[in-house]
Structure 1
């Protein structure tokens, strides 16, 4: 396994991403001759197709527009109270936009048209999003680097007397300041290190702090976990932190182009007992999976269908009591390219790849 720099661009690097994406959608539609058109209605699919447009108002809310694509044209159906702003600030140029009264359904009036919904083609849309294109990958690299730098800044300013909520506020504010949306902000001080999803509280940091961030910008989501410690760890804690990195190294070795999700998940499950954790440790928390326009796209289970493809982003998060490691990375034919990297954060080579260790100021 090797750590790579930016992957070489594919042959269509000079073609705008959305032209390639349109072709991918039309191939899906061609496979369903019974349908006249397909529609995109989810935030992830719309942001993917519309070059990272912000398609919701509340974070996690319903999109304010839908895309209808038939065999010859494409139309954006947008709520009338949002259309002017979306055209001026969010949507790519050259799209046909139809304003729909805010009091009606976005696809009202489509009676008589045989439309493929996202639910009918969910797996095909996920596959269409999987292999990142040059322009979206350039944006993604910048987002991942910015988030990694923010995590370093926030934890670098933390102190034992800080509250978990204070660290969370600094992180969330930093994400907004860099033009993003904070989707997940978790903080665990020393007293709450055992929680797998530590929503921040008024607890003091004490001897250590763990920060988990998922941030969205231009529709794409970066994910990472970092930890700082203010006192020497016990031998048990230090040993567990090293062993979880060895578990992750096994998972990274298993993540290769062409391997099925089931094959990789089997390797994940067997990595825990191979490095001294309980055989059922994988059952106590999700393990991660492909990422990009969803935090996990999809979150892998022992039965998830699909295979890894070239230029697919992923984020594993192996975890055991009190320990976790997580970064966003890119899969290429040649190896793993970790994207959430800040050169200021200390690392050590594990399985041939520099991995983040606990920061000790």
Structure 2
């Protein structure tokens, strides 16, 4: 197994234009790891605190969510449907990233944060076994030298990444606003004869052009409005349509749903749209620092009844939850007892027959801030917050 240590250059702010007079090679360099040294130091301290509490000396990180969070935005995938192509051992001496030999060059050049030691193994090797053996620390509990598996501290790691740090919050806000703008651009050019596949492909192209990965792309026209997770088909949009995008950039996942229609809408549709926004407003009111997620889940169920959707409506689709380095981290149920913290992102997605509302938001000292916002999209004010309405063309 080979190893190197690299130092990453300081990146430009995401989306910033290249400075005048910058050398040509800067435009051809591909990508620089976005990691903030200050944020990574805090994250390492949080993981060491977990090790202290467990009386262990090393932890093996193996999932997309944990890796992209701890590395502060590194891309550790090839296939969006596949396992990570890296594993990280965190021990008392430092951070060790292990990847396959055919990935090591790109990881070193474009994804490796400063101060992380890179190790490579043959493409046919066992990534996790190799990563478990690269550190020098020995465990003080359990078998000597055996790192703590990530699964054993899943709850602690989730708590460690709940509160976004300053550089993360900036990157997330930028991605979310860009995604909202993409939705406006694409949906405003659609028509009744546009097919679901055409709309989804236009959204996918714009997301990829923005340097992000479209993890979820859903679309239904009026003929398929009863489906709440509608994979696109060749059906035309007809008189109204819904589009859903979950896009990931630098590890962070922004989520958004928007509706468009090509007539005035029926009284029943307009009423249901107003009522689902009222359900969401009640959920937002409950999403405050210190609130437990199981208690918020109880408020969600009550809100459906309060606004005329029925007591069983929450069972027809998941309701969302904390966001960030996973689409939902986790999906909220009656069994999730995590507590809301300041600067934590959320994506709630209440839905009813033919209606749904969804944005990525963040809990801040000033209150709940909507991140997936585009000033060009029509809105109405619900409980003092501007919320998206259906775009009428």
Report the TM-score, using the length of structure 2 for normalisation: 0.86
Pick one of 234, 238, 254 that aligns with 1:222: 254
**Deviations 1:144-175, CA, capped at 9 Å, x for gaps:** 00000000011001000111000000001110
Q: How does 1:135-214 map to 2 (within 5 A)?
A: 135-214=167-246
Which residue of structure 1 lines up, in the alignment, with residue 112 of structure 2?
Answer: 91
In structure 2, the residue matched to 1:117 is 149
Q: Which residue is 1:65 aligned to?
A: 86
CA displacement at 1:15 relative to structure 2 = 6.7
Aligned residues: 347
Q: How many angstroms does 1:348 deviate by?
A: 0.6
Aligned to 2:96: 75
TM-superposition CA deviations, 1:73-131 (whole Å, max 9, x none): 22111111111110001111232111112211113254652211111000001011110
The CA deviation string for residues 293-351 of structure 1, in whole angstroms up to 9 with x for no partner, is 00000000111121111100000000000000000000124310000000000001001
Identify the residue that residue 344 of structure 1 maps to in structure 2: 376
**Cα distance in 1 for residues equivalent to 2:73 and 2:298:** 34
Secondary structure in 1 matching 2:340: coil
Match of 2:310 in 1: 278
Pairwise mapping of residues 274-353 of structure 1 onto structure 2 (< 5 A)?
274-353=306-385
Q: Determine helix, strand or coil for the equivalent of 1:139.
A: helix
Misfit runs of 4+, over 2 Å: 107-112
CA–CA distance in 2 between the matches of 1:15 and 1:55? 19
- 1:136 and 1:163 map into 2 onto residues whose CA distance is 36
Aligned pair partner of 1:108 in 129, 132, 148: 129
Q: Which has the higher contact order (CA 8 A, sep 6+)?
A: 1
Provide the C-alpha distance between the structure 1 equivalents of 2:264 and 2:152, rounded to a whole number of angstroms. Answer: 54
Other-structure match for 1:26: 48
Q: Tell me the distance in 2 between the aligned counterparts of 1:60 and 1:311.
A: 29
